[in-house]
Structure 1
Amino acid sequence: MDHNADEFRKKLLTTFRSEAEDHIMELGSWLLKFEAPAFSDSPAAILEVVFRAAHSLKGAARAVDEKETEAVCQALESVLAGLKKDNIVPEAGLLDRLLGAVRTLEELAAAAGVESKAPALCRKAAETAAGLEAALNGADAPAAQPRTGALKSACEEPRPVPAEQQNVRVPLAALESLLRQTEEMLACKLAAAQRCEDMRGLTGDVRLWLKKCPATAADGAPAREFIETLRVFLAGLEKAQRGLLHVLEQDRRALASRIDHLHEDMKQTMMLPFATLLEGFPLFLREALHSQGKDAELVLEGTELAVDRRILQEMKDPLLHLVRNAVDHGIEKHEERLRKNKPPRGKIVISVSKKGGNKAEITVSDDGAGIDADKVAAAAVKLGLPGAEAPAKADMPRAESLIFRSGISTSPIITSISGRGLGLAIVREKAERLGGTAEVETTQGKTIFRVVLPLTVSTLRGILVESGGEIFAVPVAQVERVGRAARGDVRTVEGRTVISSCGRTIPALNLREALGLADPAGSGPGAGGGQFLVAASGGESTAFMVDRVMMEQELLVKGLGTPFAKARGAAGAAVLGSGKVVPMLNMRDLMETRRGSSAPAPRGAGGQRARERKKTILVAEDSITARTLLKNIFEAAGYEVKTAVDGAAAFELLRTAPCDMVISDIDMPKMTGFELTARIRADKDLADLPVVLVTALDSDRDREKGIDADANAYIVKSRFEQSDILEIIERLI
């Protein structure tokens, strides 16, 4: 009985989460209409919609005993009821508070069903409800201004929901079509049963004649008569088999057609309008703009185009990053836009359009400052990327290529949400893993990111190749072309193997060597040439030499399972029509074999060397608790740590005991963290010393002071993550 009750509650919570998501999206999108430039109508219609959404969510929360959600909805409903009664538009401070409540409801919905919610979330829910009640009673409570912390929660990976608890909404017409095709499959089932019966009949006839043969011979029947009878039987058997083969071929074609149609309709059930992905973007953009004191409108175009739900899920975070990138690096502040003779309000446009047969092009553009090629080049030189040029020689095409490389960032300071140079690299990686591309175009005053993706996750087609005596499958989407190298086309230039093909010189690898396989006698092409395939990723190409390119065919791909999920170069296992299982390769992963041999050591490796050399970190912090915590974290990571109780003591210590990095609080006696950073930058012996500010101060003004003082990173204590600060240290020393 208890087991049944638990199962029922799980199903109920699944339904609640889906319903809550709809109500919360409705609350946020309709409340934002009050800020629309064109809004001038009576607020009654908007207030009615949001009031009903809050009321419905409250009832749903009560049904599943989500008390925190119910309390926030009750307070929200009371405020909205007051606005409805007077038919007034909420003033800016109250609107901030209402939208803050929507954010709190999002977090509560994500945690629905958890027996003991995080204390911080419970406190936030109580504070939200209390703030709304204070606003209702006219108390002079401070408005809940959006903070960067809200931005972080919006951009973090959502808590994974088990697959069995996820819901997909399917149009009724699609379900009816699937039902009809399922009924048609019954005919195939009956036909297959009949064919089996026919084959059993033929088998029985053959078995009967095999029994008759010895008996006929024993009775002394003339051999000629027996042979003639046998010939007639075999002729009839051959005719029956031809007829059966013809019918089986017809059945095969019918079955293939029905399966293809069924598969296509099943894919349609996974299609959702692109607009469903963007439902939370207006609220996210509002918070991002407010956190930086900027203003811009969001324009959505072509969002009715339907895209596979799985692609939408994969691309949500990359698109959020592109929007945040437009706010961080594109849109200027009000005064700067006026100085450049631009409209005071910026514009960010997300446009979706169909491209070709099964492709969608997503563009994210802004009318901001554009990409600074010199800053990109300087970041690449600092990172030590091969082929990076000094800023004086930088050009825009090269900058557009470099900006997607991991570690490249033009942000003047590292914070908890930006400046690490990972976002755009992830955008391109996600797009390419889905069989698409990501590119950027920029001019002075405009930047356009173009992401081209398939509309659906279609059946995978692969190219079968043989290398080192083994067969491998390569996804067609990752292959630029295949070819055969003539004698002399493969040569060595500056110690690296290259291949000449179609007027280009392409870096080359032997696939067997890239996979670390043994070299069977006589395998592997050498300078004499051989077959190859060219893989492309991130604007770069690599030729992989193979023993033989076999064929292209449709493949059924299965996952490798937990023990092998992170195996280098492996994307899965491909099941061939014969039933043979072969490895499915990830060519982009294998291309890192070539890049890694020329690229600088990764940051993590640098961090390891730093630990071996016992790098020294100076911690300036007036709180003994915080100072002890940081000291323990850094010592556990292998660093030597010195401490100071304020900025003045830290600076004196630096003059007598050189360190490799300073981690400093801001609000300290005698000398603040800002002043300490400025003193370090003004000292010719210490000017290049990395400085990281770790503080409770979270305002835009404080972050700007950190940038002005030339700090390398700015970490807010309320969002402090041990792994984050260790990663920043590894990047800086």
Structure 2
Amino acid sequence: MTAAVPPELALLALFRSEVAHHTVVLEEGLAGLKQNPNAVKPLERMKQEVHAIWGGARIVELESIVHLAQAMKESLLALQIHKITLSSAQLDCLTQIIILFHQLAETAVEEIVTWVKGHQAEIERLIVTISGLVAETLTRTELVEQPQNSVALSTQVTDSDNRIITDPALLGLFLSEVEAHTVILNEGLLALEINPSATEQLAALMRSAHSIKGAARVVGLEMVIKLAHLMEDCFVAAQQGKLTFVSEHIDILLHSVDRLTTMAQVVKSGTYQDLTQLSQENESLTVALNSILTGSLSPIPLPVTQSISELMIPKMPPPSLTPAVESISQSAVLVNGNTEFNSPAVRRKALANTDRTVKVTATKIERLMGLAGEIVVSTRWLSPFSESLLALKKSHIELARILEKLQETSEHEQTFFKWVKKAQAKTKECKLFLAEKLNQLDIFTSHTTTHSDHLYHEMIGVRMRPFADSIQGYPRMVRDLARELGKKVHFEMIGKTTEVDQDIQEKLEAPLNHLLRNALDHGIEFPEERLAIGKAETGYLRLEIGHRSGMLMITVADDGRGLDLARLRQKIAQKKLASVEMIKQLTETELINFLFLPGFSTMEQVTEISGRGVGLDVVHNMVHEVGGVVRAVSTPGKGMSFQLELPITLSVVRTFLVTIAGEPFAFPLARIERCLKLPKANIERVEDRQYFRFGNTNIALIDIHDVLDKIQPTYQQNELAVVVISDRLNAYGLVVDKFLGECDLVVRPLDPRLGKVANMSAAAIMLDGSPVLIFDIDDLVRSIDNLLIGKRLRKLDELSEPSPSRRKRVLVVDDSITVREMERKILENQGYEVEVAVDGIEGWNAIRIEHFDLLVSDVDMPRMNGIDLISRIRQHEELKSLPIIIISYKDSKEHRLQGLEAGANYYLTKSSFEDNSFIEAIVDLIGEA
């Protein structure tokens, strides 16, 4: 008999043959690069071959080869995206690496590990050489891109390469000054345009322009100083009554504010060469501002940095730049006592890598400090209380001794009664003492609970900011867009001081922007049209924010033309979204819901402002993402309003708890249509599907155990606990085991290392300390849709029967021999029947010819990659429900998202071979073999 080959030697043999194959391809690619250094195909092919060697080396745990392949791969990638150009030194180094791979492929299997150790010094030298050549070329390229003549800074020092060196602390102060004062300038100018006699605005405008000028002088930005100085002169002249601002003046001044914002953002990014270009463009603004002062205003072409029709809410840096300054300082180099940013790229990276800051008022911090002090004082009460309990314990010990004495002296009557009285006295003493301490403990518990609740709500409040912080740019946007459209609009914002979670504020930016633009473009009529129908020529647009019933309510309303329902019905019919008979029967609310569908628009033509059919879809998606509701109400001829109902904070969610297979789960309350007890007699069937009627609607009935792949119980009770959920198109009734009731839960994000957990959005801890998962309703609805495709579900009034056992088949598709054999052995050891395919085309042919219970696929493969393979399967009528697992070395969020969106059920890395996650994923999808 022949001795069995050890597994590690078998893997090394596969790896050696794989290296031999890939090295041949690498030689061909290098020859092609020598002939044409700009060729793309050889680079891509070489990168794939090195990637395969890198993966195989990781499987057989040859770390030196892994690092060498990684360094070579990075150099090829830099060449591919034109970050560097191929030099003779790099060609020589790549040739030496390929020769080393050749030697490795010719080494005996038993000696590979020893060979790698013996060539360790040479491998490290090649790694350092290739990495150094890439870094040197990148640095040289970056230096060439440095501006040779940058804007003068008063605190700057230039080195031999004439690069800017400035103090980041002063830069941070300048940016914060510009952010704060441009907001005041925008608001003041808009107020002056509405009421030119409001001279009280001029003093604030003059001070803001003066402050920006002073901040710019500190960092030596001459163009900012000049622009701010001219603006200040205009405001002083208006204060002295020498001029009165008209709309043309306001236009020029607002353009100047925009230019100040643009220059601040350019300075923040570190691209000083852009400032030189802006300096040349500023001449027209300077001429325009001078014309205001001289009174010789004439049509002057102003620089346009951004189309008004594309104007979005301006984003400025956070007010507190201290973390950014600290981070920048750590990555800076001191030259002659100054801090130097080595390049614009370094500056941008330093600013981007800083922690995100949030605004917190001093009042909130003081309240938090007060509560923290009260809790500290309260906790110190525990120490004497603990000592008093020790005294009680001593009393109990004495009582026990008295009882022992009683037992010993029970024969002597006089002595007996003496000890009985002592026992009664001691018992009474303990009883009173215990009652007193219990009362103190109740008081302490009550105070501690109150303080902790206050502290908890204050901590939530730290994340809350006045809504005005995020809507400062809306008046300017409405004003500019109305002027572009030729309309007159009075814009009013109500409830600006309402506090909102900063995360929600960020998410609301795009939806509110769309709603306001739609109101201006679709809703409010032109002045002559409004006058003809008896309306005031100036339209009215309102944005209102407030708290109501524990929710954030946002209303965007206008007094325009409203929604033309007949036109809307016509659009729905044109897009074939419903039959003509059904469209006639739709209510107004049902018709309006079509506006929120992707790509739906009532506009006949696409313009720069609207007509693409994406705006209201963005609003709907954002509101549902945070667990809210959006409603629209139209009054033809009088206007239209949109109402957004959102949670006040994302850190706490109101949920409805249920029990499923003995475990608690939580539904976000805002996403539940209703909960009900359904008698079994009300269950009906159509085409082998179960449903029940609620009002005039048929709601499909699904056992949630089928969706979550839980053990299905036998429903013996006469009523079923049903939770109704829905998206825009479908409503489902989910049968759960038991209702537990409503509960506020503090949301805990799932560990990102888990990837996207199917059907779940987050986790929480209940009051008793037990964990609970919170459902992702949209993902849950998608899972139900997939479940209903071609699958026969267990009936709720039938007992489940175990399916006959059958050996399950798995198809493994991977172009790496090492990886294929590794996966085959793992699966066969678990009892599965395994077939393999070497690339996507072979896998596609195999999956259509034979039946498989599961597909395991790589991503990067020749002929057809894994993403294309999965997409074809998901589009195939018979194969689209096949479970699929992707296993790849790529572990970035973008690659994971790409794989899951293509239709994979799991996206794992090849490190999953080292633990049970690979097998657990398979068991989760198709069960054990």
Interval containing the TM-score (normalised by the shorter chain)? 0.5 to 0.7
CA distance in 2, matches of 1:13, 1:492: 70
CA distance in 2, matches of 1:476, 1:360: 15
Pairing 1:530–2:720 present: yes
Which amino acid in the other structure matches residue 190 of structure 2?
L
1:101-150 Cα shifts (integer Å, max 9, x gaps): 22233344456533236x66x36743563222122444977333878734
With over 3 angstroms needed to count, the CA separation of the structure-2 counterparts of 1:154 and 1:190, relative to structure 1, is: same
Pairing 1:476–2:634 present: no
Match of 1:32 in 2: 190
CA distance in 2, matches of 1:584, 1:209: 53
Contact 2:313 2:509 in 1 (8 A): no
Report the alpha carbon displacement of residue 190 of structure 1 after superposing the two structures with TM. Answer: 0.6
Report the alpha carbon displacement of residue 457 of structure 1 after superposing the two structures with TM. Answer: 5.8
Match of 2:129 in 1: none
Match of 1:491 in 2: 684
With over 3 angstroms needed to count, the CA separation of the structure-2 counterparts of 1:145 and 1:418, relative to structure 1, is: farther
Contact 2:193 2:250 in 1 (8 A): no
Give runs of aligned pairs for residues 124-163 of structure 1, distance below 5 A: 125-126=278-279, 129-138=282-291, 142-144=300-302, 149-155=307-313
CA distance in 1, matches of 2:317, 2:684: 51
Match of 2:204 in 1: 49
With over 3 angstroms needed to count, the CA separation of the structure-2 counterparts of 1:235 and 1:381, relative to structure 1, is: farther
Which amino acid in the other structure matches residue 193 of structure 2?
E
Pairing 1:518–2:671 present: no
CA distance in 2, matches of 1:141, 1:486: 77
Report the alpha carbon displacement of residue 441 of structure 1 after superposing the two structures with TM. Answer: 1.2
Pairing 1:263–2:416 present: no
Match of 2:560 in 1: 368
Bigger radius of gyration: 2
Match of 1:578 in 2: 768
Give runs of aligned pairs for residues 533-682 of structure 1, distance below 5 A: 533-535=723-725, 541-564=731-754, 566-593=756-783
Match of 1:170 in 2: 361
With over 3 angstroms needed to count, the CA separation of the structure-2 counterparts of 1:188 and 1:288, relative to structure 1, is: same
Report the alpha carbon displacement of residue 24 of structure 1 after superposing the two structures with TM. Answer: 1.0
CA distance in 1, matches of 2:212, 2:565: 49
With over 3 angstroms needed to count, the CA separation of the structure-2 counterparts of 1:299 and 1:464, relative to structure 1, is: closer
Match of 1:602 in 2: none
With over 3 angstroms needed to count, the CA separation of the structure-2 counterparts of 1:288 and 1:251, relative to structure 1, is: same
- Please tell me the root mean square deviation across aligned C-alpha atoms, in Å: 4.6
With over 3 angstroms needed to count, the CA separation of the structure-2 counterparts of 1:164 and 1:387, relative to structure 1, is: farther
Match of 2:633 in 1: 441
With over 3 angstroms needed to count, the CA separation of the structure-2 counterparts of 1:305 and 1:553, relative to structure 1, is: closer
Contact 1:373 1:394 in 2 (8 A): no
CA distance in 1, matches of 2:377, 2:599: 58
Report the alpha carbon displacement of residue 84 of structure 1 after superposing the two structures with TM. Answer: 5.3
With over 3 angstroms needed to count, the CA separation of the structure-2 counterparts of 1:377 and 1:595, relative to structure 1, is: farther
Pairing 1:297–2:490 present: yes
CA distance in 2, matches of 1:12, 1:491: 73
Between the aligned residues of both structures, percent identity stands at 24
Report the alpha carbon displacement of residue 202 of structure 1 after superposing the two structures with TM. Answer: 7.2
Contact 2:252 2:289 in 1 (8 A): no
Contact 2:632 2:641 in 1 (8 A): yes
CA distance in 1, matches of 2:385, 2:379: 10
With over 3 angstroms needed to count, the CA separation of the structure-2 counterparts of 1:243 and 1:82, relative to structure 1, is: closer
The 10-residue stretch of structure 1 (186-195 or 377-386) with the greater mean CA deviation from structure 2: 377-386
CA distance in 2, matches of 1:48, 1:598: 68
CA distance in 2, matches of 1:44, 1:166: 36
Report the alpha carbon displacement of residue 423 of structure 1 after superposing the two structures with TM. Answer: 2.1
CA distance in 1, matches of 2:751, 2:429: 52
Give runs of aligned pairs for residues 54-453 of structure 1, distance below 5 A: 54-63=209-218, 69-70=224-225, 72-80=227-235, 87-110=242-265, 113-116=268-271, 122=275, 125-126=278-279, 129-138=282-291, 142-144=300-302, 149-155=307-313, 164=355, 166-170=357-361, 172=363, 174-197=364-387, 244-268=437-461, 271-352=464-545, 355=548, 357-381=549-573, 385=577, 396-414=588-606, 418-445=610-637, 446-453=639-646
Report the alpha carbon displacement of residue 99 of structure 1 after superposing the two structures with TM. Answer: 0.9
With over 3 angstroms needed to count, the CA separation of the structure-2 counterparts of 1:128 and 1:518, relative to structure 1, is: same
Report the alpha carbon displacement of residue 544 of structure 1 after superposing the two structures with TM. Answer: 1.9
Which amino acid in the other structure matches residue 268 of structure 2?
G
Higher RCO, 1 vs 2 (CA within 8 Å, ≥6 residues apart): 1
With over 3 angstroms needed to count, the CA separation of the structure-2 counterparts of 1:507 and 1:126, relative to structure 1, is: farther
- What's the TM-score once normalised by structure 2's chain length? 0.53
Q: Give secondary structure in 2 for the equivalent of 1:420.
A: coil
Contact 1:314 1:430 in 2 (8 A): yes
Q: Give secondary structure in 1 for the equivalent of 2:511.
A: helix
CA distance in 1, matches of 2:585, 2:280: 54
Report the alpha carbon displacement of residue 267 of structure 1 after superposing the two structures with TM. Answer: 4.5
CA distance in 1, matches of 2:658, 2:193: 58
Contact 2:478 2:516 in 1 (8 A): yes
Q: Give secondary structure in 2 for the equivalent of 1:544.
A: strand
Which amino acid in the other structure matches residue 113 of structure 1?
K
With over 3 angstroms needed to count, the CA separation of the structure-2 counterparts of 1:395 and 1:487, relative to structure 1, is: closer
Match of 1:609 in 2: none
Report the alpha carbon displacement of residue 486 of structure 1 after superposing the two structures with TM. Answer: 1.6
Q: Give secondary structure in 2 for the equivalent of 1:408.
A: coil
CA distance in 2, matches of 1:576, 1:387: 48
Contact 1:79 1:135 in 2 (8 A): no
CA distance in 1, matches of 2:393, 2:216: 66
Q: Give secondary structure in 2 for the equivalent of 1:560.
A: coil
Which amino acid in the other structure matches residue 357 of structure 2?
Q
Paired residues, number:
579
The 10-residue stretch of structure 1 (380-389 or 366-375) with the greater mean CA deviation from structure 2: 380-389
- The unaligned stretches of length 5 or more in structure 1 are 1-7, 600-611, 613-636, 639-733
